[in-house]
Amino acid sequence: MEAEAYVEMAAEEDRHWWFRGRRRILRAMIRSLKLPPDARILEVGAGTGGNLLMLSGFGKVIAVERSATARDFAAKKAGAWCDIRAGAVPDDLPLTAELFDLICLFDVLEHVEQDEETLRAIRPFLAPGGTLLITVPAFRRLWGPHDAALHHKRRYEKAELRAKLREAGFSIAKLSFINMGLFPLAVLIRAYDRLAKRPGASGTQTPPWLLNEIFAGIFGAEAAVLPGLSLPFGLSLLAIAR
């Protein structure tokens, strides 16, 4: 991603409905994992740090991010309590013998050409009984200008993500779609973008307040049900693996 994209992300991720709804879901899923009180947590591809405060509520957090621009924003948000390191997957992880109870990749894997190698590279850093938590965009047929503008390499089918996790040596505890409530609207918007040949990413700027609150409520409401069940379709996939 270009530096300008990180500037926009840093400005939007605290208020935009998508980031807010996803954080609400991730918080609920992590709470359901019953991590130890002093959990060791790694976020790979931390971006501008929008998840770090949420993650810090569950333990000590180390963040890895390739972009210097994004790391600067993350450091300002996180402060001294979070260790933010320069690095990239799969071949430049700034880790040694550290082991983590939870490793997170939130909408990161789709940006990496070597996604299977990335999954294999992070597995040795999971502590015994540790958990991997991943989100990725779903459904190849939804590919469009939005994905190209965000430098996605792919969108994932459910079976594809399951197979890649298993090939990397993980056992899958949960694999579910998320963002089901807004799926029909998003399909229509993506179809229009393709037909109209609209360049760039759609929906990255925060919409008017009322619409933003409605969308955040619809998306975030899935947090109440996802720990106990899996959704049959949605704009993204969420995986818990060990």
For 143-179, what is each residue's pLDDT tens digit?
A: 988 888 889 999 999 999 999 999 999 999 999 999 9
How far apart (Å, rounded) are the C-alpha atoms in residues 43 and 71?
12
Concatenate the DSSP letters of all residues of 101-140 into one string.
EEEEEES-GGG-S-HHHHHHHHGGGEEEEEEEEEEEEB-G
Structural domain boundaries, residue 211: 3-241
pTM metric for this prediction: 0.94
Q: Give the confidence band of 195 by pLDDT, cuts at 50, 70, 90.
A: confident
Q: What is the CATH number of the domain that holds 54?
A: 3.40.50.150
Torsion sign (Cα): 233, 14, 68, 199 = positive
Count: domains in the chain: 1
- Interior angle at CA 148, CA 115 and CA 86, nearest 5: 50
Task: Give the model's pLDDT for residue 78.
Answer: 85
Q: Is the pLDDT of residue 124 over 90?
A: yes
DSSP state at residue 97: S
